[in-house]
Structure 1
Amino acid sequence: MSTTEPPSSGRQPSGAEPSLRPARVTPVPLSALAELIGAPAQDFGTVLLTGVSLDSRAVEPADLYLALPGASTHGAQYAGQAVAAGAVAIVTDDDGARLLHDLPELAGVPVLVVPSPRGVVGTAAAFVYGTGHAGLDGPPSEGPSAAAMELYAVTGTNGKTTTTYFINSLLRALDFTPGLIGTIEILAGAGAVPSRLTTPESTDVHALLALMRERGLDAASMEVSSHALSFHRVDGVQFDIAGFTNLTQDHLDLHGTMEEYFATKAKLFGPHRARRAVITVDDSWGQRLAREAAIPVTTLRTVEVSTAEVGQSREAVEQSNGPEQSDWQVRQVEKRGLGSSFILAAADGRTLRVSTGLPGSFNIANAALAVVMVLQLQEARGESAVLKRVQAALDSHDPFTLAVPGRMQLVGKSPTAIVDFAHNPDALERALVAVRSSEPESKVIVVFGATGQRDAGKRPKMGAVVARLADVVIITDDDPHDEDAASIRADVLQGARNANDEQAFGHEILEIFPRADAIVRAVELAGPQDVILVAGRGHEVWQEVKGVNHSLDDRAELRAALRRCGFTPEPVPGIES
């Protein structure tokens, strides 16, 4: 999937992302940057910088080009193109310097050599764009592109995207003008730009923050994935507040173990990256993070939400999640159409009434996290009557009833047809519990697959989860990448069939490909009272097979299949069109 791409090495496989930079940047001297990143001293003359780029195709005049080592190529191989496009200096390592040695097209262009150039990308970008974020406890950095905005970060395995959308929606209800950097799109005040990575490279992050401030935005929320932390994509950014959703098995192809996965996520919760945190403590990972974080922490528990849905007693959930009292707790959950309403109660007795039109306990948790993050930051800033203002915004704007593309997105109502990004065992379980109808004759039909060249250990687990919770299981292809699609399906099928046989579920398990045919078959098997869940790809519109991108949008395919079978899909929302 697009959220797990490796770091850039100067050329990106499917084209450079659109350039989103501020129009006005105060030039900074290369000599000062060299001193900042610890490059050996040399005569830099009067070279001035106004931009930073990792991609030779995105270089603009007066840029610093960062020539980094990559998985298959070294960015130094593209230094000639970068200089031709206007780069006035290059930062690289010893291997890059050897590749650049005596190249005539680089004559007179300073080359700064550092041991680990990726480690200085964020520092360089923050310096050039003036986005060193002073936050609450100090003045904003000097310069016209300094990021004097409220910065919100959300990390965790599941829920990052929806929580950032919820934060932005609540901020708008509070009369902020917020931006967003995430999986689906980048919102910088003037239209949306599709995203290619969960978190862009740090050069783009700092340019975006400078652009947002230049356009008058006063807040921004950002998804911060474990890949972003591992590949230094948020280096040089200090968030005012960071939120944690949950931690379940995913991305072990990168991290190897859950312990390493946790350690990577935990990097966000230190003083160099965030000033304060709101941590959901529904599982042992969240509880541990709350204990170990090196910044002030507000804790949130939403376990009361999940007790009825997973068939556990409150005592069992409390026992499994630990005895700690939280600063905020979700209580009194009630169904409200597809969504829910609930009370968010503080340990000091304060309460808020909150609702969301999106289904599932996880969206209650996402909404609660968004509320507490916004509330805590406004209170930390010394704003008056914050609780009253937040409650008024919740009541008058219903900010958590909104379409989040590919996240429990309703495509049809009869049958209920939903597209969701769930692509790991925990997310699939939560989604399936959320969509199950109370109608006794209603069945759940699921279309899903697993991604190639990713954590293969979760594939049979995904199959087992779906076999347990769905009535009809249709296993198909996700993004095979360079792996054999049939072998991926076989791994998922094995888990599904083993669980179905061993526990005598008696559910129907089918293997249908390509994916568009699987979606059609799901609709053919559905009656008006049934639920169809197409999971795994969400908002994505390209399927990668053997290095080739094929147009494939689950939402479009599902709408077409509904029409073909005589059903009426929901209108296409503006954010999708």
Structure 2
Amino acid sequence: MPAKLEGKVATAPPRPSRTQPVAVSDLATTVDARLTAPDRAHVQVSGVTLRAQHVRPGDLFAALPGTRVHGADFAAQAVEHGAVAVLTDAEGAEKVRGVPVLVHPDPRAVLGRLAARVYGDPSTKLAVWGVTGTSGKTTTSYMIDSALRAAGRVTGLIGTVETRVAGDRLDSALTTPEAPDLQALLAVMVECGTTDVAMEVSSHALRLGRVGGVGFAVGAFTNLSQDHLDFHPDMEDYFRTKAELFDGRARTEVVCVDGEWGPRLVEDATVTVATTKPADWTATDVTVSATGEQAFTAHGPDGVTLDVRLSLPGDFNVANALLAIACLRSQGVDLDAIRAGLRDVQVPGRMQRVDEGQDFTAVVDYSHKPAAVALALDAVRARATGRVITVLGCGGDRDTAKRPLMGEEAARRSDVLVVTDDNPRSEDPASIRAAMLHGALAVPDDERGEVVEVGDRRRAIEHAVSLARTGDVVVVAGKGHETGQEVAGVVHPFSDVDALTDAIRGATR
């Protein structure tokens, strides 16, 4: 069994302690690749990576074409480190010496299947629960995981916030790991006795083949709204990519049909969920307490009902919970376990309350796209007795079109909006704030609150807290669970939760 994983950052992704080596000729057949050096078809492969610095003896190195360099430029380094074979395209094959090469016109598309073969097809030994959509992937995954643990299952979790393997935690670098890392991780989970894995499936993961070779017990869809239009040319392409999770790779498909996109995924066997229209699973009798906790009754097929208590506020979290319930019941999970899991679930950075005994509500949320900002602020507005004070920034090197939209949505829903920095990355922070301010200030004066600009995020949070009075709600949005802020290529330690906690403590001394 692998060593304890807790606290390790997956810079060198975990691998199983044992694999059954596979002949390179078998791998060529698996992915229909042309094998050079047929006299070396017997060479045995025991691992896969697409990073030369992570190669171990016996590995196959995946040399993928890139926008700036070709992975085959690092093949010599990979061979030096012990790679015994290379997967690449025809251009890359010309650069490889000394080892057999599997040549395929689209090596990225087959990398997942190849890695799954090397690591023993681990998803066939697990129940993998895949959740896709723009918002709600993390929360729904945590809900599924919590209920499965309440049912006595040994779970894994893969997503934006963290990766967990049978209770041990790793930090997440990508929402969905690259294909070889994902297959190795699933194999580690099998070794650790994991029975079920709740996994966020991003559009990048689907488009770039990261979940190739994964069989899903359940595929679930939350919703779709504007995001990642720096990666997708338009919303239709974004949707088509998300729809790939529903191409038959999941044995059961569960779809939220609120909104315009979900209904397009519905087939005869699809399990549907809705809070605004008829569906297989619906919710009634939704009540919200003064602290934001919710209760509702879920109604499912064959007259099944479930009374749910949920600590997470917002109508969207009723939809997320309903989606989780439908997924869980589709696989026969006990109603009592589902009830307990939803009651106890906690999601870092998602409508996360910071309570230092202050007389106003303070919330940290990961909302970093226009629709998510609107939903989060509508949720807190519904229970606020005072003003809504929002701190919000936008990330650099990402979809630029959403910046003015996020400023607009926040300005319409806030009594005070503090525009600040998020992760500027390589961009000028002031130009990002200017785009947000343009959208915010375009809202007519009588339809928005006060808008101020404080570039330094810590100072912006302190300013928002200094304005808060009894009954107000302070929302710090955009970064959620993140523990760093990337500025000019350097990641500085920064936590919205810690900064908000410090600001409240400082203001109440």
TM interval, short-chain normalised: over 0.9
**Superposition deviation, residue 111 in structure 1:** 2.1
Residue of structure 1 in register with 2:372 after alignment:
427
Equivalent positions of 1:120-519 (< 5 A) are: 120-131=110-121, 133=123, 147-271=124-248, 273-291=249-267, 296-303=269-276, 325-336=278-289, 337-378=291-332, 389-390=334-335, 392-395=336-339, 397-412=340-355, 414=358, 415-436=360-381, 438=383, 440=385, 442-501=386-445, 504-505=446-447, 507-519=449-461
* Greater mean alpha carbon deviation, residues 467-476 or residues 109-118: 109-118
Aligned residues: 496
Q: Which runs of 5+ in 2 are unaligned?
A: 1-8
Residue of structure 1 in register with 2:502 after alignment:
560
Kindly tell me: are residues 427 and 205 of structure 1, through their superposed partners in 2, closer, same or farther at Cα, counting changes over 3 Å?
same
- Of 475, 485, 492, the residue aligned with 1:543 is 485
Verify the 8 A CA contact 2:24 2:44 in the aligned structure 1. yes
AA aligned to 1:177 is V
Distance 1:210 1:37 in 2: 20
- Of 84, 88, 108, the residue aligned with 1:88 is 84
Give the 4+ runs in structure 1 shifted more than 6 A.
Answer: none
AA aligned to 2:201 is V
Q: Give the secondary structure class of the aligned counterpart of 2:125.
A: coil
TM-score relative to the length of structure 1 = 0.83
Distance 2:257 2:343 in 1: 22
Verify the 8 A CA contact 1:358 1:400 in the aligned structure 2. no
Distance 2:213 2:281 in 1: 31
Kindly tell me: are residues 26 and 333 of structure 1, through their superposed partners in 2, closer, same or farther at Cα, counting changes over 3 Å?
same
Distance 2:27 2:384 in 1: 65
Verify the 8 A CA contact 2:408 2:439 in the aligned structure 1. yes
**Superposition deviation, residue 176 in structure 1:** 0.7
AA aligned to 1:537 is K
AA aligned to 2:14 is L
**Superposition deviation, residue 254 in structure 1:** 1.2
Distance 2:204 2:328 in 1: 25
**Superposition deviation, residue 479 in structure 1:** 1.4
* Greater mean alpha carbon deviation, residues 451-460 or residues 220-229: 451-460
Residue of structure 2 in register with 1:141 after alignment:
none
Residue of structure 1 in register with 2:29 after alignment:
35
AA aligned to 1:399 is L
1:218-246 CA-to-partner distances (Å, cap 9, x unmatched) read 11110001111111110111101111111
**Superposition deviation, residue 184 in structure 1:** 0.9
Distance 2:39 2:505 in 1: 68
Distance 1:518 1:70 in 2: 39
Verify the 8 A CA contact 1:356 1:398 in the aligned structure 2. no
Residue of structure 2 in register with 1:521 after alignment:
463
Q: Give the secondary structure class of the aligned counterpart of 1:99.
A: coil
Distance 2:263 2:425 in 1: 36
Distance 2:485 2:384 in 1: 35
Q: Which runs of 5+ in 1 are unaligned?
A: 1-14, 101-105, 134-146, 304-317, 319-324, 379-385, 568-577
Distance 1:527 1:401 in 2: 30
Distance 2:383 2:261 in 1: 32
AA aligned to 1:409 is Q
Residue of structure 1 in register with 2:4 after alignment:
none
**Superposition deviation, residue 438 in structure 1:** 4.1
AA aligned to 1:393 is A
Residue of structure 2 in register with 1:306 after alignment:
none
AA aligned to 1:433 is D
Verify the 8 A CA contact 2:87 2:101 in the aligned structure 1. yes
Residue of structure 2 in register with 1:322 after alignment:
none
Residue of structure 1 in register with 2:106 after alignment:
116
Kindly tell me: are residues 394 and 46 of structure 1, through their superposed partners in 2, closer, same or farther at Cα, counting changes over 3 Å?
closer
Verify the 8 A CA contact 1:77 1:99 in the aligned structure 2. yes
Distance 1:342 1:523 in 2: 32
1:531-554 CA-to-partner distances (Å, cap 9, x unmatched) read 111101111122222222222211
Kindly tell me: are residues 372 and 439 of structure 1, through their superposed partners in 2, closer, same or farther at Cα, counting changes over 3 Å?
closer
TM-align CA RMSD: 1.8
Q: Give the secondary structure class of the aligned counterpart of 1:204.
A: helix
AA aligned to 1:339 is E
Distance 1:393 1:223 in 2: 22
1:484-534 CA-to-partner distances (Å, cap 9, x unmatched) read 221111111011111143xx1351100111211111111111124221111
Kindly tell me: are residues 30 and 438 of structure 1, through their superposed partners in 2, closer, same or farther at Cα, counting changes over 3 Å?
closer
Distance 2:25 2:403 in 1: 51
Verify the 8 A CA contact 2:10 2:173 in the aligned structure 1. no
**Superposition deviation, residue 455 in structure 1:** 1.7
**Superposition deviation, residue 80 in structure 1:** 2.3
1:353-384 CA-to-partner distances (Å, cap 9, x unmatched) read 11211111111111111111011022xxxxxx
**Superposition deviation, residue 77 in structure 1:** 1.9
AA aligned to 1:55 is R
Distance 2:313 2:488 in 1: 36
Verify the 8 A CA contact 2:122 2:190 in the aligned structure 1. no
